Protein backbone atom coordinates (compact mmCIF):
# COMPACT_ATOMS: atom_id res chain seq x y z
CA UNK A 1 0.00 0.00 0.00
CA UNK A 2 2.81 2.36 0.89
CA UNK A 3 4.29 1.71 -2.52
CA UNK A 4 0.96 2.45 -4.18
CA UNK A 5 0.49 5.60 -2.14
CA UNK A 6 4.06 6.63 -2.94
CA UNK A 7 3.48 6.24 -6.68
CA UNK A 8 0.18 8.11 -6.53
CA UNK A 9 1.77 10.87 -4.50
CA UNK A 10 4.68 11.18 -6.95
CA UNK A 11 2.30 11.34 -9.91
CA UNK A 12 0.20 14.04 -8.30
CA UNK A 13 3.30 16.04 -7.40
CA UNK A 14 4.72 15.77 -10.93
CA UNK A 15 1.40 16.80 -12.46
CA UNK A 16 1.12 19.72 -10.08
CA UNK A 17 4.62 20.86 -10.92
CA UNK A 18 3.84 20.71 -14.63
CA UNK A 19 0.71 22.82 -14.12
CA UNK A 20 2.62 25.30 -11.97
CA UNK A 21 5.42 25.46 -14.53
CA UNK A 22 2.94 26.12 -17.31
CA UNK A 23 1.28 28.90 -15.35
CA UNK A 24 4.69 30.46 -14.62
CA UNK A 25 5.66 30.44 -18.32
CA UNK A 26 2.35 32.07 -19.29
CA UNK A 27 2.81 34.74 -16.62
CA UNK A 28 6.41 35.49 -17.65
CA UNK A 29 5.57 35.68 -21.36
CA UNK A 30 2.58 37.87 -20.60
CA UNK A 31 4.76 40.19 -18.55
CA UNK A 32 7.32 40.43 -21.36
CA UNK A 33 4.61 41.29 -23.87
CA UNK A 34 3.19 43.97 -21.58
CA UNK A 35 6.61 45.51 -20.95
CA UNK A 36 7.46 45.39 -24.66
CA UNK A 37 4.25 47.22 -25.46
CA UNK A 38 4.99 49.94 -22.95
CA UNK A 39 8.57 50.30 -24.18
CA UNK A 40 7.44 50.46 -27.81
CA UNK A 41 5.09 53.26 -26.83
CA UNK A 42 8.02 55.17 -25.36
CA UNK A 43 7.12 54.51 -21.73
CA UNK A 44 9.69 53.79 -19.07
CA UNK A 45 9.16 50.36 -17.61
CA UNK A 46 9.99 49.17 -14.06
CA UNK A 47 13.54 49.45 -12.83
CA UNK A 48 15.87 46.49 -13.07
CA UNK A 49 18.77 45.48 -10.79
CA UNK A 50 20.76 48.44 -9.55
CA UNK A 51 17.88 50.86 -10.05
CA UNK A 52 18.52 51.36 -13.79
CA UNK A 53 15.40 51.74 -15.96
CA UNK A 54 14.84 48.73 -18.23
CA UNK A 55 13.85 49.24 -21.86
CA UNK A 56 13.11 46.66 -24.52
CA UNK A 57 12.81 47.30 -28.22
CA UNK A 58 12.92 44.96 -31.24
CA UNK A 59 15.15 47.49 -33.01
CA UNK A 60 16.22 46.65 -36.54
CA UNK A 61 17.01 48.18 -39.90
CA UNK A 62 16.98 47.22 -43.58
CA UNK A 63 18.83 49.01 -46.35
CA UNK A 64 18.74 48.05 -50.04
CA UNK A 65 20.94 49.28 -52.90
CA UNK A 66 21.47 48.26 -56.51
CA UNK A 67 24.01 49.38 -59.10
CA UNK A 68 25.18 48.20 -62.51
CA UNK A 69 28.80 47.63 -63.48
CA UNK A 70 30.40 46.65 -66.76
CA UNK A 71 31.45 43.07 -67.37
CA UNK A 72 30.50 39.62 -66.17
CA UNK A 73 29.34 38.67 -62.66
CA UNK A 74 32.71 36.99 -62.13
CA UNK A 75 34.49 40.24 -62.98
CA UNK A 76 32.15 42.24 -60.71
CA UNK A 77 32.72 39.78 -57.86
CA UNK A 78 36.50 39.84 -58.28
CA UNK A 79 36.54 43.65 -58.36
CA UNK A 80 34.60 43.72 -55.09
CA UNK A 81 36.82 41.25 -53.23
CA UNK A 82 40.49 40.67 -52.56
CA UNK A 83 42.46 43.88 -52.11
CA UNK A 84 39.79 46.59 -51.77
CA UNK A 85 42.17 49.44 -50.88
CA UNK A 86 41.85 51.06 -54.35
CA UNK A 87 38.20 51.95 -53.72
CA UNK A 88 37.47 51.46 -49.99
CA UNK A 89 38.62 54.75 -48.50
CA UNK A 90 37.29 54.57 -44.92
CA UNK A 91 39.56 52.77 -42.46
CA UNK A 92 40.74 52.88 -38.88
CA UNK A 93 44.42 53.42 -39.67
CA UNK A 94 45.51 56.46 -41.66
CA UNK A 95 47.38 54.25 -44.13
CA UNK A 96 46.71 50.53 -43.54
CA UNK A 97 49.17 48.09 -45.06
CA UNK A 98 46.37 45.66 -45.94
CA UNK A 99 42.63 46.02 -46.58
CA UNK A 100 41.20 42.75 -47.85
CA UNK A 101 37.92 40.87 -48.28
CA UNK A 102 39.00 37.22 -48.28
CA UNK A 103 36.00 35.83 -50.16
CA UNK A 104 35.65 32.33 -48.78
CA UNK A 105 33.70 30.84 -45.86
CA UNK A 106 35.72 31.57 -42.75
CA UNK A 107 37.45 34.48 -44.45
CA UNK A 108 37.29 38.03 -43.18
CA UNK A 109 37.07 41.62 -44.28
CA UNK A 110 40.09 42.81 -42.35
CA UNK A 111 42.39 45.76 -42.01
CA UNK A 112 46.04 45.44 -40.99
CA UNK A 113 47.29 48.71 -39.56
CA UNK A 114 51.05 48.31 -39.85
CA UNK A 115 53.90 45.84 -40.06
CA UNK A 116 53.42 44.85 -36.41
CA UNK A 117 50.27 42.97 -37.42
CA UNK A 118 47.88 45.13 -35.41
CA UNK A 119 44.51 45.51 -37.07
CA UNK A 120 40.78 44.92 -37.04
CA UNK A 121 38.18 42.58 -38.49
CA UNK A 122 35.30 44.55 -39.96
CA UNK A 123 33.22 41.50 -40.91
CA UNK A 124 33.28 37.74 -41.30
CA UNK A 125 32.55 36.02 -44.61
CA UNK A 126 29.71 33.59 -43.92
CA UNK A 127 28.88 32.72 -47.55
CA UNK A 128 30.69 33.17 -50.82
CA UNK A 129 30.24 31.88 -54.36
CA UNK A 130 32.24 33.64 -57.03
CA UNK A 131 30.09 35.56 -59.46
CA UNK A 132 26.90 34.90 -57.50
CA UNK A 133 26.78 35.87 -53.84
CA UNK A 134 28.81 37.24 -50.96
CA UNK A 135 27.48 37.51 -47.40
CA UNK A 136 29.37 39.46 -44.73
CA UNK A 137 28.47 39.67 -41.07
CA UNK A 138 30.02 42.15 -38.69
CA UNK A 139 29.98 45.68 -37.26
CA UNK A 140 31.84 47.38 -40.13
CA UNK A 141 32.29 51.01 -39.03
CA UNK A 142 30.28 50.51 -35.85
CA UNK A 143 33.06 48.65 -34.03
CA UNK A 144 32.56 48.85 -30.27
CA UNK A 145 28.76 48.67 -30.38
CA UNK A 146 26.62 45.58 -29.74
CA UNK A 147 25.37 45.67 -33.32
CA UNK A 148 24.89 42.82 -35.79
CA UNK A 149 24.92 43.76 -39.49
CA UNK A 150 24.48 41.22 -42.30
CA UNK A 151 25.38 42.46 -45.78
CA UNK A 152 24.25 40.28 -48.70
CA UNK A 153 25.63 41.08 -52.15
CA UNK A 154 24.25 39.32 -55.22
CA UNK A 155 25.74 39.50 -58.71
CA UNK A 156 23.37 38.96 -61.66
CA UNK A 157 24.23 39.08 -65.35
CA UNK A 158 22.29 41.67 -67.35
CA UNK A 159 23.42 41.70 -70.97
CA UNK A 160 27.07 42.69 -71.07
CA UNK A 161 26.91 44.14 -67.56
CA UNK A 162 26.14 42.97 -64.02
CA UNK A 163 23.55 44.10 -61.52
CA UNK A 164 25.04 44.21 -58.04
CA UNK A 165 22.39 44.23 -55.33
CA UNK A 166 23.08 44.89 -51.67
CA UNK A 167 20.64 44.10 -48.86
CA UNK A 168 21.62 45.01 -45.30
CA UNK A 169 19.81 43.72 -42.23
CA UNK A 170 20.82 45.08 -38.84
CA UNK A 171 19.79 44.60 -35.25
CA UNK A 172 21.10 45.45 -31.82
CA UNK A 173 22.39 48.65 -30.24
CA UNK A 174 21.02 50.98 -32.91
CA UNK A 175 20.74 54.74 -32.63
CA UNK A 176 18.56 57.26 -34.42
CA UNK A 177 19.92 58.19 -37.82
CA UNK A 178 22.15 55.15 -38.25
CA UNK A 179 20.05 53.62 -41.04
CA UNK A 180 20.31 56.85 -43.05
CA UNK A 181 24.02 57.09 -42.31
CA UNK A 182 24.56 53.51 -43.44
CA UNK A 183 22.60 54.17 -46.63
CA UNK A 184 24.65 57.27 -47.41
CA UNK A 185 27.97 55.56 -46.74
CA UNK A 186 27.07 52.73 -49.10
CA UNK A 187 26.08 55.19 -51.83
CA UNK A 188 29.64 56.49 -51.48
CA UNK A 189 31.31 53.07 -51.45
CA UNK A 190 29.27 51.60 -54.30
CA UNK A 191 30.00 54.63 -56.45
CA UNK A 192 33.73 54.19 -55.91
CA UNK A 193 33.49 50.43 -56.43
CA UNK A 194 31.63 50.92 -59.73
CA UNK A 195 34.34 53.27 -60.98
CA UNK A 196 37.01 50.74 -60.03
CA UNK A 197 35.11 47.83 -61.63
CA UNK A 198 34.37 49.81 -64.81
CA UNK A 199 37.78 51.37 -65.41
CA UNK A 200 40.34 49.42 -63.39
CA UNK A 201 41.55 52.73 -61.98
CA UNK A 202 41.36 53.79 -58.35
CA UNK A 203 38.85 56.62 -57.86
CA UNK A 204 40.24 60.02 -56.97
CA UNK A 205 40.33 60.78 -53.27
Domain ranges of the chain: 2-54, 60-199
CA distance 112 to 166: 25
Lowest mean pLDDT among 43-47, 88-92, 193-197: 43-47
Q: For 6-28, what is each residue's pLDDT tens digit?
A: 334 444 454 554 554 444 444 43
**Residues 6+ positions from 160 with CB-CB distance below 8 Å:** 70, 71
pLDDT of 19: 54
* Confidence tier at 39 by pLDDT (50, 70, 90): very low
Query: In which band, very low, low, confident or very high, does the pLDDT at 103 lie, cut at 50, 70 and 90?
Result: very high
pLDDT of residue 4: 37
User: How many percent of the chain have pLDDT more than 90?
Assistant: 54
**Which residues, listed in sequence order, are joined to residue 99 by a DSSP beta bridge?**
111
Give residues with Cβ within 8 angstroms of 23, minimum separation 6. Answer: none
Sign of CA dihedral 167, 173, 174, 178: negative
Burial zone of 138 (CB within 10 Å; 0-12 exposed, 13-18 middle, 19+ buried): buried
Confidence at residue 154, expressed as pLDDT on a 0 to 100 scale: 99
In order of 80, 188, 192, 205, the CA distances from 195 in angstroms are 11, 11, 5, 12
φ, ψ (nearest 5 deg) of residue 96: -65, 145
pLDDT in tens, 111-167: 999 999 999 999 999 999 999 999 999 988 766 677 889 999 999 999 999 999 999
For domain 60-199, the question of CATH label 3.40.1160.10 is answered with: no
Amino acid sequence: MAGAFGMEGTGATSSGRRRAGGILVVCVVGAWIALAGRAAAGEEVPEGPGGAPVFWSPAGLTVEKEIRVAGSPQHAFDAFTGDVSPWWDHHLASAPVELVIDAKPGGTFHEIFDDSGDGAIHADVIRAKRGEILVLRGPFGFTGHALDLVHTFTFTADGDSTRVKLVIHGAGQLQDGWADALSGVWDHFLGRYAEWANTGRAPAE
